[in-house]
Structure 1
Amino acid sequence: MVIHLRLVLLVLFLFANSNVLWAQYLEIAGVILDKQTNQPIAFGTVAVKGHPHGTTTESKGRFSLKLTEQAFNSVLIASCIGYRSDTLKLMREKKFYTLKLEPVKSHLNEVVVTGVSRATLARENPIPVVGVSTKKIEQAAESNIVDVLVKSVPGLNAVKTGPNISKPFIRGLGYNRVLTLYDGIRQEGQQWGDEHGIEVDAYHIVRAEVVKGPSSLIYGSDALAGVVGLIPAGVADSGLRGKYFGEYQSNNGLIGNGMRLTYRSGRWSYVAAASYRIARNYTNQIDGRVYNTGFREMNALGTVKYSSAKGYSSLNLTLYNNLQGIPDGSRDSLARRFTYQVAEGAADDVTKRPIVPENILNSYQLSPLHQHIQHYRVYTKNQYSIGAGDIDFSVAFQQNIRREYNHPTQPDQAGMYVRLNTVNYAFNYNVPLFNNTMLSTGINGMYQDNKSKDATDFPIPDYRLFDAGAYAFLKWSYERWTVGGGLRYDQRFLRGKDFYTATDPVTGFSRRVAGNINNAYLQFPTIDQQFNGVSLSLGTTYKVSEQLSLKANIARGYRAPSITEYASNGLDPGAHIVYLGNRSFEPEFSLQEDLGGEFSNQYVSASLSVFNNNITNYIYLTQLTDASGNSITDAQGNKTYQYQQSRAQLYGLEATLSIIPEGMAGFSFDNAFTINYGFNRSVRYKGAGIQGEFLPLIPPFRLLSSIQQEFKLKQGWVNSFKFKAEADFNGAQNRFLALNNTETATAGYTLIDLSAGAEIRYTRQHCLQLMLQVNNIFDTPYQSHLNRLKYFEYYSQSPNGRTGIYNMGRNICLKAVLPF
C-alpha cells in the first residue's frame, strides 16, 4: 500500500510540472501598509477576485504573485482582520502595487476561499463564513485550536471531555455532521467518538475559516452542519525564517513548546515544524484536581513546495502522537475524592475503589488507563492554469491508530484498538470566466479501511467504505448582485464481513475469533449497504451600499449514517458508553434557509444571521433504562445508549456588534450573541417538553462581550501593547432531553477573562509577542451544557449537592511568540 502511494504521488508531482498546455504567468509585487501609521501589515491576505491566485504578506508587508494574463481583467483584493479591505484595478503595465488599509474592528471583509477555490470577500458570499486570522490564533491562550475558534466564531461551540478534547458543533450539530479540513484535506480519525478530538498541531495553524450551514455541495457527506477549515503555515519570506512558541498554563501546569522553520529560494520552499505539550490534571473549586485529565502531545510536520511560472505542487507530511488521560468520574461517596480502578468485572466494586493519592493527582504521571492516539498524514496539493481556466487536485493518505487502555490488571492490553486507513482524492476545474460568471466543477471522495486489532472491546465492526461525488457550482456577479448555486450527487458503499467474538477462558476478556469456534458470538453480521443523496444550494447577496450587504441562501445537505450509528454494538472504553446502532437507518437530509445582513463603517460594524434547518431522518442518542427507569449499566457503571432516528428542526440567530468611538484610537467594544433551538418533530413527542421534544446537546444562548484598548507606539523598543477584558455569559439550558435521563438541566454562568499583551521590537524586522491572560478570573464553578464530564457520576446524591465533574477553574496563561 505504501509503495503504491509513493508511486501515485511521484506520478502526480511529475505530471503537475510538465510543460504541456499550461498558461504562462506575469509576476507582480507590492506592499500592504497601515493607512494611519504607514507601518507594514504582516500576514495580510492578497488575492485576485474571481481567481485562485492568492498569497499572504511577509513580515515587511510585502507580497508577490504570478498571474495569468486573464487575471488582469480583474481587481486585486487586500484584506486583514482589523482593517477595511481595499481593492485596486490590475493593469498590465504596472508591476508594483501599494495598498493602504484603514484600521477598523470589522471582521466582515476577510478574503475567504472555502468551498469555491476562488478568492471572494466574505460579505459577498451568500453562505455565512467567518475567517479567523493568524494574529487572533497566535494571541489566543486556549487549550486547543477548537477552543480558540469558539472564542472567535459566533455559532460555533464545542463538546468537551476535559481541556484537550473539544469537538466542534455548528448551530447545534456536531460529530459527523461537522467536517474538519486540514489544508483542504478532510480530517478522518474516528470522529464518531464522544472523546475523540481533532488530531492537529495548534501551534502551526495560521488561519481558519468556518462555514456555517450545509456544505455538502462541495464536500459531500459529513458537511451537513458546516465546515471548520484549518490552514497550516506556509512560506512567506525568502531565505531562512523561524518562529518559536512557548506557553505555560497554571491550572493544569500545561507546558508547551513549538518551533517552525521556513526556507524559500527560487522556486523551492520548505517548512519543518515540531511541538511538544504536556499537562497534568486540571482543577476547580468543586472537584479539586480531576483525576486522569492530563496529556502528552507531540507533533511534527514537513512541506516541500515547487512553484513555477505554471503553478505549484507541494508534498506534505504530518505526525501526531498523543497520550490522553480520560477520567471515569469514580470517587468516594463522602469525601468526594477521586478513586481509581484496580480490579476487573464483577470484582470491581465502584464504591470501594481506593482513593487517588495526592502525589499522583498533582504529578504529570498518566494513569495506566488512558488513550494513545497516533495520526499520520501524507498528501500532495497541486494547482495550475490551463488556458484561461485552472485546475487543482489533491491526493492524501491518512492513518489513524487509537488504543484505549481500560484493564488495570493487564494495563498493556488495549480495550479498544482500531486502525483506520483513509485515501482522500479531489479534482476541481475552474472554467474560464465568461459574462461575469464563474463555474467550478469537480469530483472528490475517499476510500477507507477500518480494522480492530488486539483488543477486548469492539464498539464498531471492521469495514471498508468508498465515497464518490460530483458537483458543479456557478457564481454570477453583476453590479450590486452576486448569485451562486450548484448541484451535487453522492454515493457511498459500505462493506463488512461477519465479525465473531468469544470470551477468553484464561483472561475472561472478550476477543475476536473465527466463526467456527465454540460459543462464538456474531457481534457484527455482514454489511453490504449503499447510500446516495443529492445536495444543492442557491443563494444571493445584494450590495445595498459600500457599508451594507444583504444575504439569502437555501441549501439541501446530505449525510450518510456513520459506522457507529449504523452498526455499533459494544463498549467504547474511552467514552464509558455502550453504543447500539441501527441497520435500518436512512441518510439524513437537511433543508436550511439563511437570511442575513452585514454593515460596516468607520466606527461601527454589525452583522445578523438567521437560520432555519429542517432535517429528515435525524439521528440522535438516547440512554436506555430498565423497567424501573434505572440506567442500564455494566459492572463498571458504563451506561448504554442507543441511536434513534426522527424528524428534527433547528433554528436560531447570530449577531455581532463592534463599536469604535470617534477619537478613541485603539479602543473597541465587541459583542457576539448566539441562540439556538432544537426540536424533535416526531409526532410521538409533540408537546412532550423535556421528555422528548427537545434535541440533545443544544447550546444555551450566549453573549460574549469585550472591551479592548491597544496603544501603538511609533518610537522605542515597545511596538504596541494592549489590554482586554471579556465577559462570557451563558444562559441556563432548560430545554434539554430528559427522556431516559439522557440529559439534565444546566445552570447559567458568567466567566470573566482579563488579558494583556505587548509587541517588543528586538530587531528592525522582528517583534517578540508576549501575552498574559487570566481565564475565569473569579474561579467561578460551572458546568457547560456541552461538557460530557457533567454526566460522569456514580451516585444519585452528593454530600455537597453537586454531581458530575465541573469545568476548569481559574487559569493563568503565559505565552510568547518569537519570530527570527
Structure 2
Amino acid sequence: MKLLLLLMLLSPALLWGQTGTLSGAVHDARHSAVPFASVAVVGTNLGAVADAAGRFQLLKVPAGALRLHLSAVGYAPAEHDAVLADGQTLSLQLTLAAAPAALSEVVVTGVSRVTEIRRSPVPIATLSRREISLNANTNVIDAAVRGIPGLSAVTTGPNVSKPFIRGLGYNRVLTLYNGLRQEGQQWGDEHGVEIDGYDTERVEVVKGPASLLYGSDAVAGVVNLLPGLPSGPEGRLGGDALTEFQSNNGLLGHSLGLNYQKNGFQTSFRASHRLAHDYRNHVDGLVYNTGFRELTLTGMAGVVKPWGSSHWYLTLYDNQQEIPDGSRDSLSRRFTRQVAESALDDIKNRPLASRDELRAYAIGPLHQRIQHYRVFTKTQVELGRGQLNLLLGVQQNRRREFNHPTAPVQAGLALDLTTYTYDVRYHLPAWQGLEMSVGSNGMAQVNRHQDATDFPIPDYNLLDAGSFLLLKKPLGKLEISGGVRYDTRLVKWDDFYVATDPRTGFGAAAGPQVAGAALQFPSFRRRYQGLSASLGASYVATEQLTLRANLARGYRAPNIPEIGSNGLDPGAHIVYLGNRNFQPEFSWQQDVGVLWHQPTLDASVEVFHNYVQNFIYQARLLDAAGQPVVIVPGNTTYQFQQAAARLYGIEASLNVRPAALPWLALTSNVALVNGQNEDAKLVENPDNAARFLPLIPPLRARFEVRATLPTRPGRLTGTYFRASLDGSARQNRFYALDNTETATPGYALLGLGAGTTFRTRAGREAVQLFLQVDNVLDVAYQAHLNRLKYFEYYQASPNGRPGIFNPGRNVSAKVVVPF
C-alpha cells in the first residue's frame, strides 16, 4: 500500500482511467445564452468557462455518475446530475436562474472540504476575475477591498496595500497564493503582496480566526488568491492578451497568458508587466517618488486523471518601488528630494524635485527592489472514498531598500528570506453523514542580512508546525462543524554585531572581534505554543433563510519584529524596538449571521465580537519629559507594546435584482468595526488618547447600480453600465496617544464605468473592453489607513492640509483579447 501511494504521488501520469466528453450550452430562464458561465465537475479539478454564446466543453471526464456545478456573475449557482459512459460524448443543455448574488457559491478556503458559502459557520466572501476586471486597480488587494465588506488595506502609495480584516492586519492576516502561504517580510508597513493581479482568477476571504486550518498568522482571517486552470478546448493553444492604461499615474499594464490541455495534461504560462510614474491629486500635484515598475512570470504544469490531480507552479516576481518620504518646501509645498546623508541632510532645505522627475517612468535612486521566487506542488489523490491533499513549496523573498543618495548602489536594507512549507490533509470517508479531516502543516524559515547598512531585525531561524482535526455533521437542516488544533513554533538567533565600515562610513554586520562592534541583537531562543478551537453551526430554516453562528479561539505567536526589532527600517522611516518577553496572542471571537437568499434579493447581516489577549501594537517611544525619543534624525521611534484589546462590529449587504427589470442590479454593503484598548493604565489616561486601537478603519459603505443589456444576436454581448458611490465616515475613534494618529474627515467617491464584449460572426468572444472613471469629482481626501497621511515635516501647512493625499481622478481603459 505504501509503495502504491508513493507511485501515485510521484508518477501520476502512469495512471489512467475510463473517460468521456461533456459539452453543451448554458442558458437562463428566457433561453438566452449565459456568457462566461463556469462549469465544474464536483469532486475533481475539471472545469471550463463557457464562451460568449454560453457554449462549453469538458474533455477526459471520468466515466460514471457526475454532479456538475454551474455558476456565473449575476446568476444563482446550480447543480446538475449526469451519467457519462466510457468513450461517450454527452451534450447537455443547462439552465441558470438570475440572482444578484451567490450565497450558494462553493468555496475551498477556510473549510475542510468544498462548502457552500451559506453553510459555512465562518463568514467567507469571494470575488471573481470578472469583478476584478471591472475596476481600475494598481494591485490585487485593492481590487478585493472594493468588492468585499470588512476587508480594508493599509496603503503606502498606489502599489503597496496590506490587507486588514475587521481591524486586524500584518501577521494576523494570512495571505495565500493558491493555498501556499505568502511569506515576504509582510510585517513591514511598505511591504506589499508579491502576486500578479492579472493572474488572479478568484479571491476568497475568510473573515475571522482561521488558525484552526492554517496555524499562527491567520488569527484575523485569510486572503486566498487563486489562479485559474486551463479551460480551453482539448489540444488547442488558448489564452488571452491584456493591455491597460490609467491616467492618474500613467500606468501601463500588459499581460499575456497561454494555456493548453490534452489527454489530462495541463499547462499554462503568464507574463505581466506594469509601470507607472508618480500619482497625482489636486492638493499635492504629482507626489514625488511614488512610481513603480513590476514584472511577473508564472508557469504551471500538471495532470488531471480519474485518480486525482497533480500540479506544479513556478512564479518569479520583480518589483522596483520608489520610496516617498514627503519632504517639501514649506511655502510652495512642492516636493523636494534628498541629496545628502545624515547630519549633512537639511530636510527643510533640500532641492525641489523637477517636473521631469515627477513625470518620469524611470525609477529614482531611493527605491526598494523586491524579488520573490516561488515553486510548489499541489496533489490530490482519491483513496477509495477518502481523499489525500498534499502541498509542498519553497519560496525566497529578496528585499533591497536603497536609501543612500550619495551611494545609490548601496542597499540600506538587504534581506533574504527563504521559506519551506508543507501542508498535508486527509479527508476520511464519510460515516453516517459525519465528515472528518485530519492534517498537519507548517514551515521552516531562514532569514539573512546581506550587504546592508541598516539592520532592523536579526538573522533568525524559525520552525513552525501544527496538527488539526476537523469534524462536520449534518442533522437535517442543521449542520454542525468544529475542530481543534495544536501549534508550536521555535524561534532562535545568534548574537549579531554591527560596526561602522571605515571604507564607507556606513554601518555593517561585523564579528565580535571587530573594533567598535556593538551587540545589536543578543542571542535568543524561545518556543511558543498554543491551542486553537472552533465550534459553529448553520441552520437552513427555509430555502430563503439561513442562520449561522461560530465561536473560535485563535492563536498567534509574536512575529520577529515584535520580539527582536532594534533598528531603522529605512523604507518606513521608523526605528522599531521590540520586546523579547512578549507572550502569544489568543483571541476569542463570536460570529452571528443571518442570510436571506431568493432570486430577486439577497441580504445578509453579520455581527462579530473579538477579545484578544496580549494584543501587540506600536506606540511612539517618549523620554522622561514626555518628548518623542529620536534615535536616528529624521525618523520616528516606535516600541511594540502588549495589552488586551476588544474589537466588535457589523457587516451588512443588500443586493436587489427586480423581477420586472432583470437587466438591473442594485448592490450595497456597509461595514463598521470598533477597536478598543483594554489596558487599564492607558485607558485611564486623562484625555482618553489611548482608548482606541490604531489602524481601525472608519464606517465604510458602497452602493452600486449596474445595468446589463440582454444578450441578443449581434456582435456585442455582456454590455454593462455602472455607477458606484464609495463612502467613508469621519474617523473620530483613533489612537491619539503621542499624536500617533489624527482624526480623518469623511468623504464620498463617485465612480462610473462601462464595458462590452465584441464577438465574431461565429459567436466566439473576440475582445473585452472595460472603461472606468474613479473619483469622478476629483475629491481631495485622505483615507484613514493611508500611511502617507502622516508624512509631514512641519507643524502647520500654509494651505491647512498637512500630509499627503490619496490619488485624484483616474480614467482607465482595459482591453482583453481572448484566443
Fold agreement, TM-score > 0.5: yes
Query: What secondary structure sits across from 1:84 in the alignment?
Result: strand
Query: What secondary structure sits across from 2:118 in the alignment?
Result: helix
Query: What secondary structure sits across from 1:149 in the alignment?
Result: helix
Give the counterpart letter for 2:71 in structure 1.
Answer: S
Q: Distance in 1 between matches of 2:263 and 2:60?
A: 13
Q: Distance in 2 between matches of 1:496 and 1:98?
A: 62
Which position in structure 2 is the counterpart of 1:779? 778
Q: Distance in 2 between matches of 1:477 and 1:199?
A: 39
Which position in structure 1 is the counterpart of 2:742? 744
Q: Pick closer, same or farther for the CA change 1:586–1:700 going to 2, 3 Å.
A: same
Alignment of 1:315-394 (within 5 A): 315-394=312-391
Which position in structure 2 is the counterpart of 1:584? 581
Which position in structure 1 is the counterpart of 2:698? 700
Q: Distance in 2 between matches of 1:100 and 1:331?
A: 61
Q: Distance in 1 between matches of 2:280 and 2:627?
A: 31
Asked if the contact 1:213/1:225 (under 8 Å) is kept, the reply is yes
Asked whether 1:55 is paired with 2:47, we answer: yes
Query: What secondary structure sits across from 1:434 in the alignment?
Result: coil
Which position in structure 2 is the counterpart of 1:556? 553
Q: 1:139 aligns with which of 134, 143, 147?
A: 134
Q: 2:753 aligns with which of 744, 755, 759?
A: 755
**Structure 2, unaligned stretches of length 5 or more?**
none
Give the drift of 1:481: 1.3
Q: Distance in 2 between matches of 1:662 and 1:18?
A: 49
Q: Distance in 1 between matches of 2:143 and 2:222?
A: 16
Query: What secondary structure sits across from 1:691 in the alignment?
Result: coil
Q: Distance in 2 between matches of 1:228 and 1:43?
A: 24
Give the drift of 1:14: 6.9
Give the drift of 1:451: 0.2
Give the drift of 1:433: 1.4
Q: Distance in 2 between matches of 1:116 and 1:774?
A: 37
Q: Distance in 1 between matches of 2:682 and 2:264?
A: 63
Asked if the contact 2:145/2:153 (under 8 Å) is kept, the reply is yes
Give the counterpart letter for 2:80 in structure 1.
Answer: L
Q: Pick closer, same or farther for the CA change 1:778–1:149 going to 2, 3 Å.
A: same
Asked if the contact 1:53/1:67 (under 8 Å) is kept, the reply is no
Asked if the contact 2:46/2:304 (under 8 Å) is kept, the reply is no
Q: 2:708 aligns with which of 680, 686, 710?
A: 710
Give the drift of 1:430: 0.7
Q: Distance in 2 between matches of 1:795 and 1:430?
A: 60
Asked if the contact 1:32/1:41 (under 8 Å) is kept, the reply is no
Asked whether 1:39 is paired with 2:33, we answer: yes
Asked whether 1:279 is paired with 2:252, we answer: no
> When the two structures are superposed, what TM-score results if normalisation uses the length of structure 2?
0.95
Asked whether 1:625 is paired with 2:622, we answer: yes
Asked if the contact 1:568/1:581 (under 8 Å) is kept, the reply is yes
Q: Distance in 2 between matches of 1:466 and 1:133?
A: 35
The CA deviation string for residues 63-115 of structure 1, in whole angstroms up to 9 with x for no partner, is 5487889x95x954323332112123455879665431112111322211113
Alignment of 1:586-665 (within 5 A): 586-634=583-631, 636-665=633-662
Which position in structure 2 is the counterpart of 1:187? 182
Asked if the contact 1:80/1:110 (under 8 Å) is kept, the reply is no
Q: Distance in 2 between matches of 1:350 and 1:796?
A: 14
Give the counterpart letter for 1:815 in structure 2.
Answer: K
Give the counterpart letter for 1:769 in structure 2.
Answer: Q
Alignment of 1:129-528 (within 5 A): 129-237=124-232, 238=234, 239-528=236-525
Query: What secondary structure sits across from 1:85 in the alignment?
Result: strand
Asked whether 1:83 is paired with 2:75, we answer: yes
Give the counterpart letter for 1:204 in structure 2.
Answer: D
Give the counterpart letter for 2:33 in structure 1.
Answer: Q
Q: Distance in 2 between matches of 1:26 and 1:127?
A: 37
Q: Pick closer, same or farther for the CA change 1:439–1:742 going to 2, 3 Å.
A: same
Moved more, 81-90 or 38-47: 38-47
Which position in structure 2 is the counterpart of 1:7? none
Q: Pick closer, same or farther for the CA change 1:702–1:770 going to 2, 3 Å.
A: same
Q: Distance in 2 between matches of 1:122 and 1:26?
A: 31
Asked if the contact 1:499/1:522 (under 8 Å) is kept, the reply is yes
The CA deviation string for residues 728-772 of structure 1, in whole angstroms up to 9 with x for no partner, is 110011111111111111111111111111111135221411111
Query: What secondary structure sits across from 1:425 in the alignment?
Result: strand
- RMSD (Å) for aligned C-alpha atoms: 2.1
Give the drift of 1:631: 3.1
Asked whether 1:540 is paired with 2:540, we answer: no
Asked if the contact 1:34/1:103 (under 8 Å) is kept, the reply is no
Q: Distance in 2 between matches of 1:370 and 1:166?
A: 17
The CA deviation string for residues 435-473 of structure 1, in whole angstroms up to 9 with x for no partner, is 112111111111110000000000010001111110111
Q: Distance in 2 between matches of 1:428 and 1:812?
A: 46
Give the counterpart letter for 2:749 in structure 1.
Answer: L
**Structure 1, unaligned stretches of length 5 or more?**
1-10
Asked if the contact 2:112/2:470 (under 8 Å) is kept, the reply is no
Give the drift of 1:62: 2.6
Q: Distance in 2 between matches of 1:115 and 1:659?
A: 28
Alignment of 1:22-33 (within 5 A): 29=22, 31=24, 33=26
Give the drift of 1:690: 4.5
Asked if the contact 1:381/1:394 (under 8 Å) is kept, the reply is yes
Asked if the contact 1:45/1:111 (under 8 Å) is kept, the reply is no
Asked if the contact 2:568/2:632 (under 8 Å) is kept, the reply is no
Q: Distance in 2 between matches of 1:485 and 1:114?
A: 15
Give the drift of 1:506: 3.4
Q: Distance in 2 between matches of 1:12 and 1:761?
A: 47
Q: Pick closer, same or farther for the CA change 1:687–1:133 going to 2, 3 Å.
A: same
Give the counterpart letter for 1:576 in structure 2.
Answer: H
Asked whether 1:789 is paired with 2:788, we answer: yes
Q: Distance in 1 between matches of 2:537 and 2:59?
A: 30
Q: Distance in 2 between matches of 1:591 and 1:610?
A: 14
Q: Distance in 2 between matches of 1:37 and 1:450?
A: 58
Q: How many residues align structurally?
A: 805
The CA deviation string for residues 520-566 of structure 1, in whole angstroms up to 9 with x for no partner, is 11100112111111111111000011111111011111111110001
Q: Distance in 2 between matches of 1:25 and 1:642?
A: 63
Give the drift of 1:245: 1.0
Give the drift of 1:687: 5.4
The CA deviation string for residues 648-690 of structure 1, in whole angstroms up to 9 with x for no partner, is 0000010000122231121111100000000111121335464
Q: Distance in 2 between matches of 1:435 and 1:26?
A: 30
Give the counterpart letter for 2:453 in structure 1.
Answer: T
The CA deviation string for residues 678-735 of structure 1, in whole angstroms up to 9 with x for no partner, is 0111121335464111000000001101111111231221113111111111001111
Query: What secondary structure sits across from 2:388 in the alignment?
Result: strand
Alignment of 1:711-730 (within 5 A): 711-730=709-728
Q: 1:15 aligns with which of 6, 9, 15?
A: 9
The CA deviation string for residues 328-365 of structure 1, in whole angstroms up to 9 with x for no partner, is 01011111110111111111111111111111111112
Which position in structure 1 is the counterpart of 2:114? 119
Which position in structure 1 is the counterpart of 2:806? 807
Asked if the contact 1:307/1:313 (under 8 Å) is kept, the reply is yes
